[in-house]
Homo-oligomer: A and B are copies of this chain.
């Protein structure tokens, strides 16, 4: 039994959402039963978690054990390989929770060759933390979470488009936190016109995600609140070659085909590691039908809206057999006052 590996995972979770296309990693250096160093990877391009923790430990790292949420890296990226640093500091034992399948070479062997004991200790919590990162890194697209707030009958609004507010304040606060832990929020033009949303993170010292707007036609109303006094970048993906604006912070990206795949590839190249989709039925359904959605976050208000199929959050042109429709696994359920949150992973 050891808590230190759990501590390393806790540290990783604290920096989740601020490392862009890099994984959030935590590390704890332990010697003679006490923590002598702790750290996390704070930002892409910055020191890795192991290095932060070793730098804090200094000489105490000699003959100590390091617990890391993810296998230490063996390659020269923005920083030198962590395994070298671990060897240089005289670490005696390395324990990590998840194997990094994206590494070019085997760090265990390098460390063992230097006389360091290495243990890979499987941990489900950490595995869940990196599952999407590995998929994302191999496909070179962001991790995608789709958020939907709806009634028990799956509607984002009444047939007339009335949607403020279906869910409660606790959901709102939870969504602020979702935005804080994602690099960017994507929506469609329809939602912009209907809701005039801000997509800010009204949490103290919180990070506002980059705003991404998908509008094939490029019929954007630049008088909307979102474009006023913004300090956060807004990227508009469109097929409209004539779309132009001189608003600072707004970047227009013209693609010949605004497919979800093309947008995601471009977002990843721009450093977006985690994307939150908060949109109306059209964009939401497109993402849910694509292969790129890792996670679905559903907030249910305990009401039934009825009417016709308007604003049903999932709509498809074709009819699929029950064996073909998207299946999910429920990862977590939570009461948010009188609303319910479901976290689901696409199977």
A residues near B (Cβ < 8 Å) are 1-4, 7, 10-11, 14-15, 18, 28, 30, 32-40, 42-43, 52, 55-56, 65, 173, 176-177, 180, 201, 203-208
Contact = CB atoms under 8 A, between A and B. Distances in A.
A119 to B, nearest CB: 10
18 contacts: A1-B176, A1-B177, A3-B14, A3-B177, A4-B205, A11-B38, A14-B28, A14-B35, A18-B35, A33-B205, A33-B206, A34-B42, A34-B43, A35-B40, A35-B42, A36-B42, A38-B39, A65-B205
Nearest to A38: B40
Contacts of A39: 38, 56
Contacts of A42: 34-37, 56
Given A11-B38, A18-B34, A32-B207, 17 more contacts: A3-B14, A4-B204, A7-B14, A14-B28, A15-B34, A33-B201, A33-B205, A33-B207, A36-B43, A37-B42, A38-B38, A38-B40, A39-B56, A42-B56, A52-B56, A55-B56, A56-B56
Nearest to A15: B35
- Stoichiometry, copies per complex: 2
Nearest to A5: B204
A35 B15 CA distance: 7
Contacts of A205: 2, 4, 30, 33, 65
A37 B43 CA distance: 11
A92 to B, nearest CB: 11
A123 to B, nearest CB: 14
Contacts of A43: 34, 36
Contact of A203 (B2, B37, B65): B2
B34 A207 contact: yes
A203 B3 CA distance: 9
Contacts of A55: 56
A204 B5 CA distance: 10
